Chain A
Amino acid sequence: MIYATFMLLVLLTLVASSREHVLELPLFWVTVLWSLAYLIADMTSPLTLSF
């Protein structure tokens, strides 16, 4: 489910970029920071994403 959300955010950023919308950069930052937080949470937990 969370990967579908990430993909949706990427698509929304692409649409915002093509329409030169002001939300392009905020959406990009939300996607990057959320993904990074997800990775950091994985690194600091005993169960990893690759298993």
Chain B
Amino acid sequence: MVIGVPHRRHDQSAHVELLAVARLYLLAVTLNVWVLVVILAAAFAVQFWSGEPPCPLCVMQRIALMLIALGPLHILLRAYAAGLTCRAAALGQGMAIIAAVLGAVAAGRQILLHILPGDPGFGSPVFGLHLYTWCFIAFSGQIAASAVLLASPKGRHPRSEVSVETQHHPPVDWISKARSH
């Protein structure tokens, strides 16, 4: 195939670029999960260290944090099982945004409960802010991060690259058959 050689060279460089982008995307998604794990661990550490049991709204925020983590985990599980697809990425980030909105509602509710002047707030502050305020910042950051990851190019996973590489392109096949005759 005369025409196949330059075409394949072009594809190979594109594949390398797509692989790098896909790995970068999966790295960002993995980092997202670890950030959520660290936030949850920090909340537990503050709880046990200062001896402050969480209020029901705090529990709701922790449940929202766990629900957020299900989105990136969905992407990672699908990516390592069958390759990274736009559908899995969109679904996972959508799940994360929905859960982050839920958490922001809970955290915003708790902030508004203690917004009056003179109110000491619930629990002891950490770095000048209460845990529910930090949670609201985390939920807002998660929504922004998911939006950025949704808008970023995803490339393809190596396994899906194989299927792309081996598929036939009708115009190329038609030209190569015409030249061989």
Contacts and interface: CB of A to CB of B under 8 A. Distances in A.
Interface residues of B, number: 27
Contact of B73 (A14, A39, A50): A14
Nearest to B123: A50
Interface in B40-63: 55-60, 63
Contacts of B110: 50
B105 interface: yes
A43 B108 CA distance: 11
Given A17-B70, A20-B81, A6 B63 contact: yes
Interface of B: 55-60, 63-64, 66-67, 70, 73-74, 77-78, 81, 91, 95, 98-99, 102, 105-106, 109-110, 113, 122
Interface residues of A, number: 24
A24 B67 CA distance: 12
Contact of B56 (A24, A28, A49): A49
Interface of A: 3, 6-7, 10, 13-14, 17-18, 20, 24-25, 28, 31-32, 35-36, 38-39, 42-43, 48-51
Given A39-B105, A49-B60, 17 more contacts: A13-B67, A17-B70, A20-B77, A20-B78, A20-B81, A24-B74, A25-B91, A28-B70, A31-B63, A31-B67, A32-B98, A38-B60, A39-B109, A48-B57, A50-B56, A50-B110, A50-B113
